[in-house]
Amino acid sequence: MVGAFEQALLALMIFVIMLGMGASLTPRDFWLALKRPYGLLIGVVSQYGIMPFLGFLLITILPLPQAIAVGVLIMACMPGGTTSNIFTYFSKGNLALSVLMTVTSTVTGVILIPIILVIYATALELEIPRENIIITLVLLLVPVAIGMVLRKLNANVGAVTEFMGSALALFFIAFIAISWVPRNWQFLMTTTPATYVAAIGLGLFGIMIGYGFARVLKLHPRNARTVALETGIQNGPLAIAIIAFTFAGDEAQSYMAVPALYSLFIVIVSTLVTLVFRRANTAAEQKLPEGML
């Protein structure tokens, strides 16, 4: 289902995106975020409070086999997806906040994900690979640091890296999705409706709940859109990597079903959401009068 070639491509994609993400950051961004950690706190709560609970609900409500349930839980506990930054960019959200939320959820995930996973897994009587998750998360932060150094050294290299990160990521996503679907047609046809609901619902409901949560807390609509995408979009490739890292053979393949389906459908869901957000943004933009500007 997710072969070695695809796993390599996904790893490369994560690296490129994280590099581009780093290139869009300055130390000042971190300093500012720490000075006013409200937005980030909301992000952490929605990431590790709302999403895992949503996953738990889906597993409890839907008739899912054990292996699929593990997939849903791992998926729900992942940090913010790197692609959320691209969708935030196109939906005119707060890119700096999005990047920081992704980075923060990845950093805090090193501690939080194992704890949350253990709690829910115990409740659901599932087994999860803790150490592998920690190692993978730490590795994720290396390209971010490289990206930040690049920008500091040369603004042009930084801007080009950032641009190429987004452009390549879009290309990778499209390539993987388009090439994956026909080769896995059989799998797609035999997957149960409940699995589809879980894989699609996790992203879609996540975005909706995230938006509502942010609006209730009176966040600026631009930041609320960012939080929404950040909440719903999980790091699918990371889940696949962790599973591939931990399990083997058929076991790995059935665990990967939900992360693979999720990763495919989140692109479609996020694209639709982005179109809605763009329209909302155009309506609310600071109207600069014609004239000297």
Partner 1 sequence: MDHPDKPWTAFYRAGARTEISEPAYRNLADMIRSVAETHGRNPAFTCCLPNGMNGTLSFAQVDEMSDALAVYLREIAGLRAGDRVAVQMPNCLSFPVAAFGVLKAGCVLVNVNPLYTAEEMARQFADARPHALIIVDMFADKVPAATAGHPIPNVIVTRVAEFLPAMPRGIVGLVQKYWDRTVKPIEIAHIRLPDALAAGRAHAQEARIEVDAYHQGVAPDDVAVLQYTGGTTGVSKGAMLSHANLLVNMEQVMELLVGDLQKGREVALTALPMYHIFAFNVNLLGFWWLGARNVLIPNPKPLTNLKRAFENYKITWMSGVNTLFNGLTNEVWFTDSPPRHLKFSSAGGMALQSSVAETWERITGSPVIQGYGLTETAPVLTFEPLGKARPGSIGVPVPGTEIACLDDAGNPVAQGEAGEIAARGPQVMLGYWQKPEETAKVMRGDWFLTGDIGVIDADGYVRIVDRKKDMVVVSGFNVYPNEVEEVLAAHPGVLEVAVIGVPDMGTGEAVKAYVVKSDPGLTAEDLRAYAKEHLTGYKVPKRVEFRDELPKSNVGKILRKDLRAEAMAQIAAE
Binding region for partner 1 (CB under 8 A)? 26, 28, 32, 36, 96, 151, 155-156, 158-160, 162-163, 220, 285-293
Q: What is the dihedral of CA 256, 139, 22, 95, to 10 degrees?
A: 40
Q: Which residues of 199-218 are buried (b: 16+ CB within 10 A; e: fewer)?
A: bbbbbbbbbebbbebbbebe
Question: Residue 93 or residue 201: which is nearer to partner 1 going by CB?
Answer: 93
Question: Residue 156 or residue 179: which is nearer to partner 1 going by CB?
Answer: 156
Q: How far is the CB of 22 from partner 1 (least distance, A)?
A: 13
Q: How far is the CB of 25 from partner 1 (least distance, A)?
A: 10
Q: How far is the CB of 19 from partner 1 (least distance, A)?
A: 15
Question: Residue 215 or residue 220: which is nearer to partner 1 going by CB?
Answer: 220
Coil, helix or strand for 286? coil
Q: How far is the CB of 33 from partner 1 (least distance, A)?
A: 10
Six token digits for residue 92: 């005119």
How many CA atoms, within 13 angstroms, populate the side-chain half-sphere of residue 133? 23
Q: How far is the CB of 290 from partner 1 (least distance, A)?
A: 4
Sorted by sequence, the CB contacts under 8 Å of residue 231 that are 6+ apart come out as 43, 46, 47, 50, 51, 80, 206, 207, 209, 210, 213
Q: How far is the CB of 59 from partner 1 (least distance, A)?
A: 39
Q: How far is the CB of 23 from partner 1 (least distance, A)?
A: 9
Question: Residue 122 or residue 154: which is nearer to partner 1 going by CB?
Answer: 154
Distance CA 170, CA 83 (A): 8
Distance CA 81, CA 232 (A): 9
Question: Residue 4 or residue 287: which is nearer to partner 1 going by CB?
Answer: 287
Q: Hey, which residues does 234 pair with through a beta bridge?
A: 80
Question: Residue 24 or residue 83: which is nearer to partner 1 going by CB?
Answer: 24
How many CA atoms, within 13 angstroms, populate the side-chain half-sphere of residue 211? 17
Sorted by sequence, the CB contacts under 8 Å of residue 127 that are 6+ apart come out as 70, 121
Question: Residue 25 or residue 64: which is nearer to partner 1 going by CB?
Answer: 25
Q: Hey, which residues does 80 pair with through a beta bridge?
A: 234
